[in-house]
Chain A
């Protein structure tokens, strides 16, 4: 038993959902009780997906347990097949169903449906989400491609160049590992496809993201495979290499240096000359206007000197942590003070990297252990997941998200990749953004006793309080208080809210105008003031302003609780 406040990864069946949701024509029947449908909202809310995940839940209840839960599985499989007519079906169970041992996969296999059925056994009490995604992708690909595998003793696959020349086409590859709910996978796939095209390589199949069952069946026709996220695609790529002889490109193109290495590796595997492309994007000489890669110049420009040696802590999945640590050190000139990952499967490479950086690796999925490490190290910037955002917020440290698990704000509308040269540009902006700009930092330190800097009004910037420089950890309550007051900056309060329902914009404008010229002479009764404090902080300022305006207009000198609510009713939201 393990005490957990937050979990970095969901259970393995959520990994399977990510595969099903990434694809078209694949349906997942999940033997699970009520409540497990919560996972739908991860996709519909965090990623704002416009369709429900293609998942049918059997929804068994306590009263079913003595009876025939197996029949429930069969009817769910039958109904899902008839309603959705998928091209392939995944059948598995969540943690509770695993305990009652109905073996839904075998049940579905016995139903003779005219589509491929992939039974999934994902042990929920020992494995986690990324493993579940990897395993699901592997079993799906294997089920669909095994009939197409060349018989033993077949001649070895011809070289990429030979095949491309013979067929009079460019070399082509499969792009493997992108999934729903992966950190910026949607944009990475787009960016890497563009980069490969610049190199002279076509993407044959991208999977699982955006793939159909037919696409998967066409995968052996690619010359080689590119693994974007080894957490999800490594197992599958190894099987494809073994079974179809497709070589694998393993460099993950996050960061300028890694992207250059990626280009070189693709060039080598595909037999394409990449020197011109690399010359154009050469680190150290990149110029604004001449290059797609702006990070090298931005990092060298004098404005970036204040970034020098900023102490950075990095935590997340293995792929993003390894890339981020290298970028932080070699591409932004930070000092990496600690790294860690929740991906236990990748403990070894992370430990090796930590040793190379001269820091200690934290291999843990215990949120409290991560929090403790961040507290001890007192970094000036945390690069982490949604969880580290909480930690950093509490400690008053700036934070940028580099890895899943993510939240809705980590799925921006704009193209915002992490991979390729453009990805490095995006990362530069993202990591520098939460940091105090050089001069502002000085001013805040110098005049921190200024009344507008303290308590009520925090600095004009994004985060709660200055970076914990000098290892000075703000008390929890203070940092929370400061955080909460941030949205109450004067500009926000002055802006008329667009939330009033029936178009009272005119009226609201008028309020603002009047408030701006007429100083408030009304006073608040203690009871009304106390009542006001009970209102959520993010609307308190507006309520105060409206109430005072209301009282002022009616010549009321003393604001009572009733006046406050009269005003609230009068103005609405």
Chain B
């Protein structure tokens, strides 16, 4: 066990300046092109998802909200009948949809609207054309990226039973298609396979799972999904996450070891892209080396990204905040952090802001609500949400990842006004 795992962690409980799990819809609805997400909630939920999606909408969204009204709450209308009507209306409009997620929210949880039963009821009407699933993205139970965990978790029981007699690899967590293709090529060169990605690009193409399934997690916020897959017989390959050269190599090695790939072959396959990534990274070294970075808790990516910045960019870590610590997910990462990094779990935003102002870091990684106000106080910031929405995994993106952190520093130096 590393020293870090025993280090005192600041645990705080107070105002959280973090999105709720509904926000995951923003990327999940783009990843699975035949899926639609129907939030059952309030006007606040609708407003939240559209505000978080913001400028990213180039086309009609595959999400919507069934907004609860006074009538539903007062029992003047049967909320279940109303929900069925909304679902019919929606599926009439979008015949291209094959999977519909009913997404629970704070109000639907508090009034105990049973979306599990609603999904079962609607499935009797719409299967096989549309499969209806449900999960909760409510802020009283989930934080930001936990929404993806809850979504994938609810798909797990529907994955087909694998009939494979030999090992299969399942990569879990949303990544850009282009990044998946890069990894697919690397796995093929290593002789690791067959490889399935979860979530799939089409929600109807669910990957198989069984006792021969080996799990490689691409994202650090999928603890419940991993546990559910393990319960279906899969084995988790422990590894750091594939950020930067070291993370990517370690991640590939975890699979390579399982498949009995020789060290020479791993080196041969990874040497060129790893070298390329080092070239790309070197460009940003001068910007990042020795810089002091402070992470506010946001996406759960904080610890893996802090490890990347520390190991490969020479960054000094001031505080690394994370919404919650899931040791199953994050132990391999924590082991690699320096003992000087202060980890914090949860949030009391005003106190954390006090610490941040006191520390005057060179770069503060934080959410959109905090970024401009901190800039106005003279601190350089990096929006953390961009780290979730950009392709940052793997060798070919290592340089891009460093650049995301270097850009605010570059910009600060350029501006003379």
- B77-A95 in contact (CB<8A): no
- A94-B44 in contact (CB<8A): yes
Q: Mark B96-118, 1 if CB is under 8 A from A, else 0.
A: 00000000001101110000000
The chain A residue with its CB closest to the CB of B85 is: A1
Min distance, Cβ B405 to any Cβ of chain A, angstroms:
10
B276 at the interface (CB under 8 A from A): yes
Q: A123-B70, A535-B178 are in contact. Are A35 and B19 (CB under 8 A)?
A: yes
Q: Of the 9-residue stretches B119-127, B255-263, B366-374, which lies at the interface with chain A?
A: B366-374
CB contacts under 8 Å to B, within A388-432, are: 390, 394, 407-408
10 A-B residue pairs with CB within 8 Å:
A4-B65, A5-B60, A5-B61, A34-B140, A35-B23, A37-B18, A60-B140, A99-B111, A483-B58, A502-B284
CB contacts under 8 Å to B, within A35-59, are: 35-42, 44-45, 48-52, 56-59
- B376-A50 in contact (CB<8A): yes
A534 at the interface (CB under 8 A from B): yes
Complex CA–CA separation, A137 to B359 (angstroms): 39
Min distance, Cβ B284 to any Cβ of chain A, angstroms:
6
A157 at the interface (CB under 8 A from B): no
A456 at the interface (CB under 8 A from B): no
- B273-A2 in contact (CB<8A): no
- A3-B89 in contact (CB<8A): yes
- A570-B18 in contact (CB<8A): no
B165 at the interface (CB under 8 A from A): no
The chain B residue with its CB closest to the CB of A3 is: B86
Residues of B within 8 A of A37 (CB): 15-19, 369
Residues of A within 8 A of B43 (CB): 4, 7, 9-11, 95, 124, 128
The chain A residue with its CB closest to the CB of B81 is: A1
Classify the secondary structure of B's interface with A.
helix
Q: A408-B55, A502-B287 are in contact. Are A569 and B16 (CB under 8 A)?
A: no
> Known contacts A11-B43, A14-B47, A38-B19; can you find 13 more A-B pairs with CB under 8 A?
A2-B66, A4-B43, A34-B16, A34-B18, A37-B19, A40-B17, A40-B369, A48-B372, A52-B370, A61-B141, A99-B111, A562-B272, A572-B399
Q: Mark B5-46, 1 if CB is under 8 A from A, else 0.
A: 000000000111111111100000000000000001011101
Q: A3-B66, A34-B139, A62-B140 are in contact. Are A569 and B276 (CB under 8 A)?
A: yes
- B22-A35 in contact (CB<8A): yes
Number of interface residues of A (CB under 8 A): 74
- A565-B273 in contact (CB<8A): yes
B407 at the interface (CB under 8 A from A): yes
CB contacts under 8 Å to B, within A495-522, are: 498-499, 501-502
B90 at the interface (CB under 8 A from A): yes
- B373-A49 in contact (CB<8A): yes
A377 at the interface (CB under 8 A from B): no
- B73-A125 in contact (CB<8A): yes
Q: Could you list which residues of chain B lie within 8 angstroms of chain A, going by C-beta atoms?
A: 14-23, 40, 42-44, 46-48, 50-52, 54-55, 57-61, 63-70, 72-73, 77, 79, 82-83, 85-86, 89-90, 93, 106-107, 109-111, 138-141, 143, 176-178, 181, 185, 272-273, 276-277, 279-280, 283-284, 286-287, 350, 367-373, 375-376, 396, 399-400, 403, 406-407, 410, 414
The chain B residue with its CB closest to the CB of A49 is: B372
A573 at the interface (CB under 8 A from B): yes
Min distance, Cβ A515 to any Cβ of chain B, angstroms:
21
Q: Mark A124-144, 1 if CB is under 8 A from B, else 0.
A: 111010000000000000000
Complex CA–CA separation, A96 to B14 (angstroms): 18
Identify which of A124, A126, A565 contacts B44 (C-beta below 8 A).
A124
Q: Most chain-B CB neighbours within 10 Å: which of A13, A35, A394, A407?
A: A35
- A502-B143 in contact (CB<8A): no
Residues of A within 8 A of B400 (CB): 573
- B106-A35 in contact (CB<8A): yes
- B110-A65 in contact (CB<8A): yes
Min distance, Cβ A167 to any Cβ of chain B, angstroms:
40
Q: A11-B47, A41-B368, A62-B109 are in contact. Are A2 and B67 (CB under 8 A)?
A: yes
CB contacts under 8 Å to B, within A357-401, are: 368, 390, 394
Q: A1-B77, A565-B276 are in contact. Are A96 and B110 (CB under 8 A)?
A: yes
CB contacts under 8 Å to B, within A540-573, are: 561-562, 565-566, 568-570, 572-573
Q: A3-B89, A62-B140, A83-B350 are in contact. Are A52 and B369 (CB under 8 A)?
A: yes
Residues of B within 8 A of A501 (CB): 283-284, 287, 403, 406-407, 410
Q: A34-B143, A44-B369, A123-B70 are in contact. Are A1 and B86 (CB under 8 A)?
A: yes
- A569-B14 in contact (CB<8A): no
Complex CA–CA separation, A502 to B413 (angstroms): 10
* Minimum-distance CB pairs A-B, first 5: A35-B20, A35-B139, A40-B369, A50-B376, A1-B82
